[in-house]
Amino acid sequence: MKTIIITGGNSGLGFETAKKVVGNPEYKVILACRNPEKAQKAKEQIVGETGNAHIEVMPLDTSSLVSVRAFVENFIASGEKSDVLVNNAGISSMGNTGTTEDGFELVFATNYLGHFLLTQLLLPHMTEDAAIFNVSSDMHNPPGGIDWPGAELLAHPKEDDRRKYAYSKLCMIYFTHELDRRLRENGSRITVNAFNPGLMASTNFSKGGGKARELVVKTTMPERYGKLESSSDALAELITNDAYRGISGQYFDRSTNTAKSSALSYSRENAQELWEASMTYCDLA
C-alpha cells in the first residue's frame, strides 16, 4: 500500500484530490491538517463515499515550525515511508496579517516555509521513487508582474504587502527548481514538481467570492480560471499514474500537461538565495 501525505487535505483541492486517490484501495492518505475536527469530518466523508478506510488524520499547522517537526516525528514513529507528499495547505492574503510564533510573516510561513521544512525532514523517510508536488498558482505572476525582493524582506517585511500571496507561490516554484537540481546532483530518483490548480472561485480559499467572483474570473481572466473538478482530477492522476514518476522540475498547469511559468520563476540565483535563507530560518544550515 502506498502512503500519500496531503497538507490541508480537509477542504478544496486537497480534499477532492484525497477522495479521488483513495478511490483506489491500494492507496492510503494522511490528511495533514491544522484543524483536527474538520479533518476528521473530511475523513468520515471520504470513507463514506469511497469505502476505503485507509485514511488517517494527523495534526499539522504549516505556519508553525514546531508543529511541522512534531508531525514528522509522529510520522517517523509510525515506521512508514511516504510515497507522495503534496504540499497543498495555504492561506490567502485577504485578512491574514501578522507574524507567526516563530517570527515570520504569516502567509510566507504558512504557504512556503512550513512546507520547505516539512519536505526537508521527510526526505530521508520517503521511498526511493517518491514524488513531491508543490501546489503553486499562476498568481506567482500576478497582473502587472512582481520583482524579487529577497527572502529576508518576505520573511520579515517592514510593512504589509498585498502581493505576499504571489510571493509565497513564487517561492514554491523556486523551491521546486532548487530541490530538483539538488536531487538530480545526488543521483536521487525522487521527483518534485509544481502544480497550478488555477484560480478556483468555488473553494473556501476564495473568501467572499462565490459565483459572482467566478464569473468575473472566467470573463476577465480566462487564462487563470481553474475548475476544482478538473484540477483535482489532474493532481490525482499525477499522483497515481506511474507514467509521470520520471518527470521532475516541471510546472503542471491545471492538467497533466506541463507549461512554462513566469520568466522570473526560472532565476537560479533567486532560488539559491531563497534556499540558503530558508535553511537558516529552519535551523537546518
**Catalytic residue annotation:** 165
Judge contact between 220 and 161, C-beta under 8 A. Answer: no
- The beta strands (E) that lie in the chain are given as 2-7, 27-33, 55-59, 82-87, 126-135, 191-196, 251-253, 258-259
Pairwise CA distance, residues 259 & 253, whole Å: 6
Residue spans of alpha helices (H) in 33-142: 36-50, 65-77, 106-108, 114-122
Closest CA to 164 of 104, 231, 214: 104
CA Rg value for the chain: 17
Q: Are 106 and 97 in contact (CB under 8 A)?
A: yes
160 three-class SS = coil
**Which pairing describes strands 82-87 and 27-33: parallel, antiparallel, or unpaired?**
unpaired
Provide the b/e sequence for 199-229 (b: ≥16 CB within 10 Å): bbbbbebbeebeeeebeebeeeeeebbbbbe
